[in-house]
Amino acid sequence: MKSPVVLVGVGEMGGVFARGLLRLGHPVFPVVRGASLSAAAEQLPEPQLALIAVGEADLATTLAAIPATWRGRLGLLQNELLPRDWDGCPDPTVISVWFEKKPGRDHQVIIPSPTYGPQADLLIAALTTLAIPARRLPDETALLFELVLKNLYILTTNIAGLRTGGTVGQLWSTHRALAEQVGHEVIDLQEALTEARFDRDALFAGLAVAFAGDPEHACMGRSAPARLARAIQHGDALGLALPLLRRIAAEQGGNAP
């Protein structure tokens, strides 16, 4: 029998990875909401991977409770993820997920999902069993770029979508100036959060590829207002102006400019 994998969070996305891992022959041990991570770690102290599949809103509290024996074995797949989020958890395996899974529907791939870390090949192999494309990144610099690109996609479509509605294809073809203005403010925020600088032309080129991968993808969902509020909170903490994001928030009855 192959080495076990712990799955913390058994939602739609966790279920996809569990199915792929099981197809590879890895036993998967789920840790459901409210269960004790410490108790689970006592029973299974050395899994090949402890895949954290909780939503981004629950990530900080989950990582704070991760037992010491799992800290060097983590896998992360959340949206809005940056290296600062896994501080204190050495060398995690990180995947920037570019497929969607909704209840009652099969997964929808946008572009191949890049991944990096000690168990990157395991995650790529698991997704391959489900015909979900994924690729290994060469280094941490490439990972950081890919995480920022995913954040650019999520925040730009969600925040601009609060004003425009519609699909990402419509946003890019009809409201590109707005998308680019929002996108530049999102990159300002990502650069401040990471204390790094990025090739903006390369980021927008990657954004266009993602839009073309699924042009009918809706711009926003239920999380859009919370994402905008969180972006402004980060901007406040970092002393960023973010004038367009604040105007859109004001239009939604949120933070005024």
Tell me the pLDDT of the chain (257 aa) as tens digits: 799 999 999 899 999 999 999 999 999 999 998 899 999 999 999 999 999 999 998 999 999 999 999 999 999 999 999 999 999 899 999 999 999 988 877 888 999 999 999 999 999 999 999 999 999 999 999 999 999 999 999 999 999 999 999 999 999 999 999 999 999 999 999 999 999 999 999 999 999 999 999 999 999 888 999 999 999 999 999 999 999 999 999 998 854 44
Q: Which helix (H) or strand (E) holds 28?
A: strand 28-31
pTM: 0.95
CATH number of 5-137: 3.40.50.720
1 burial type by CB count under 10 A (0-12 exposed, 13-18 middle, 19+ buried): exposed
Whole-number Å distance between alpha carbons of 69 and 151: 30
Q: Residues of 186-222 as b/e, b for ≥16 C-beta within 10 angstroms?
A: bbbbbbebbeeebeeeebbebbeebbebbeebebbee
The pair of three-digit structure tokens given for residue 134, joined into one six-digit string = 């994924």
Spans of all domains in the chain: 5-137, 141-251
CATH number of 141-251: 1.10.1040.10
